[in-house]
Structure 1
Amino acid sequence: MSNITTNSTAIVTADNQANLIALVNLLNKTISQYGLGLIWLIGNLGSIFNCIVFSQPTYGKSPCAMYFLASSVAQFFTFNFALLTRMLQYGYGITAINIDLWFCKARFYFFYLFVAVPRYYIIMASIDRYFASSRSARRRQ
């Protein structure tokens, strides 16, 4: 009798775990389809508008505007290279990234490159503005 109870308990536990796994997979698919799609759309629009604004002749050759322009271009590549492939894989089941090993490695490298570069450009723009607004003439040079 205890053997049957143990087996039925194990089966119930396995069913609960299977249901939990199915729920997590469904959430992952739903978030990848709708959440990442919304982030992709808004991110692309924001990057494009930033590129339009910071490439205006009003800003001229301002180093700060150039940093923000380069940051926006790098973010555009992040949204269209890394986020799009992840959305297609997890949301729609299109595995474009595992076709060739070189593409998988390149995607991994460029993902981290394009995620890190905009942050560094914003940091450099902040440093530029700090020195440009300093009271010391030596720092402004």
Structure 2
Amino acid sequence: MTTYDILGNIGSIFNLLIFSRSSHRRNSCSLYIVSMSLCSSIGLNSAVIPIIYALDHPNPLSYSIPFCKSQYYFRHVFSQSMRTFFVIICVDRYASCNNRVFIRSFSRHKIAIRVIPLVMIFWILLGLFPTMLYTVSNGVCDVQSGLPNILYSAYIMIVLGIFPLVTLCTFGVLMVINLKELRANIQTLGNRKIISILRKRDRDMMRMLLTELVIYIITTIPNTVALIYKAAAPPAANGSERQCIESFVFYFVREFLLYLNNSLSFWIYLITSQSFRHEFKRLLLHLFSFVKHKKPQVAIVH
């Protein structure tokens, strides 16, 4: 977790530097990626740093209810905001390649400026509900068994599983259909250069989208399954082998896997998109040039 926390923060910084450049500032998709990267980094650090700190120090999550609630609130609000921005990015990509002017109008800078604060306000308010269910019991910061656990499991199943997956799959399919129609229309005009550029962009976009979608499924579905199991299964006896196995599985799917997703967007873009690699190369050259020109000149004394 230390490794992917460091790599995740490095990736978020590079995403911010690339997508906040002047050539991207008026692009709605870039604004959503900047917002997603910020939320991703805050959610990642809120979740992982207390776990790393607890390796060599007393874990405040095991005895402090205010710390338990506040830590969960920040990681939940910002991680859910990150996932919501990912969904909106897919919607924005679908709208940008739609043949209808009305739908295409949603992929605009002005719309993004309004949507971004609304998403943050929504999760800041909704995040209060699951936070109230969290408490410290037997040295563990978690939701208590019984009705609170059932309510929490249902809530997480909806906001982390059903809604994002259905939305992502739906708009992913719609985007593929729209891109095929757009490519067919351009092909009718016979402009081979535009067709070649469009096909390359299609491939880059689909690789990025499908890779992110697959990783989202891999990192979130096990958490939903674990929560359903926890709500339905009777509690294990203290010190039993079953309790040890459950503790490890819950840690792996609810902490390690779940927040791994926060650290991957930059690295997915870098691996799957050639155009993004060109952007990254230009950024590195720009930073190198900036540092080189900022170096103090040493005066030669004769």
Asked whether the two chains share a fold, i.e. TM above 0.5, the reply is yes
Q: Which one of the candidate residues 85, 103, 114 is aligned to 2:67?
A: 103
Q: Which one of the candidate residues 33, 41, 46 is aligned to 1:68?
A: 33
Q: How does 1:1-141 map to 2 (within 5 A)?
A: 36-89=1-54, 91-98=55-62, 100-141=64-105
Amino acid at match of 1:63: S
* 1:92 shift after superposition: 2.4
Unpaired runs of at least 5, structure 2: 106-302
TM-score relative to the length of structure 1: 0.67
Per-residue CA deviation, residues 58-89 of structure 1 (Å, 9 max, x unaligned), is 10221111110000001111222211111221
Q: 1:92 aligns to what SS in structure 2?
A: coil
* 1:98 shift after superposition: 4.8
Amino acid at match of 2:79: V
Over the matched positions of the two proteins, sequence identity in percent amounts to: 24
Distance in structure 2 (CA, Å) of the matches to 1:99 and 1:51: 36
Distance 1:124 1:40, change over 3 A: same
Is residue 95–residue 104 contact of structure 2 (8 Å, CA) maintained in 1?
yes
The count of residues paired between Structure 1 and Structure 2 equals 105
Deviation >3 Å, runs of 4+: 96-100
Distance in structure 2 (CA, Å) of the matches to 1:44 and 1:138: 37
Is residue 16–residue 37 contact of structure 2 (8 Å, CA) maintained in 1?
yes
Per-residue CA deviation, residues 10-66 of structure 1 (Å, 9 max, x unaligned), is xxxxxxxxxxxxxxxxxxxxxxxxxx1111111111111111111111102211111
Distance in structure 1 (CA, Å) of the matches to 2:61 and 2:42: 16
Distance 1:135 1:108, change over 3 A: same
